[in-house]
Amino acid sequence: MERLLFDNDINSPTNKQFVIIENDLISRLEEEIAFTRFEKLDDTHTICRLVTSWATTPGQIEELGKIL
């Protein structure tokens, strides 16, 4: 995600990733993937939480990369 210009709010080594996303992109992303709006950062950005599980496949991660 770093190369896709999403800012990491927290450097998390876990399956939970917190990223800062521009608010105008959130509606489009919600049509494609499930994630949580974690905290409003400012008037134009929101911290969002993306989570994977042990069942998440490499193919699903690649698909997420294409969507983003």
List the CATH number of the domain containing 48: 3.90.1150.10
How many structural domains compose the chain? Answer: 1
CA-based nearest residue to 4, from 65, 62, 63, 46: 65
pLDDT value, residue 34: 93
Q: How far apart are CA 35 and CA 29, in angstroms?
A: 9
pLDDT digit string (tens) for 12-63? 788 888 888 899 999 889 999 999 999 999 999 999 999 999 999 999 989 8
Q: Which domain holds residue 52?
A: 2-67
Q: pLDDT at residue 11 above 90? A: no
- Can you say whether the dihedral through the CA atoms of 58, 61, 67, 68 is positive or negative? negative
Predicted TM-score (pTM) of this structure: 0.75
Q: pLDDT at residue 8 above 80? A: no
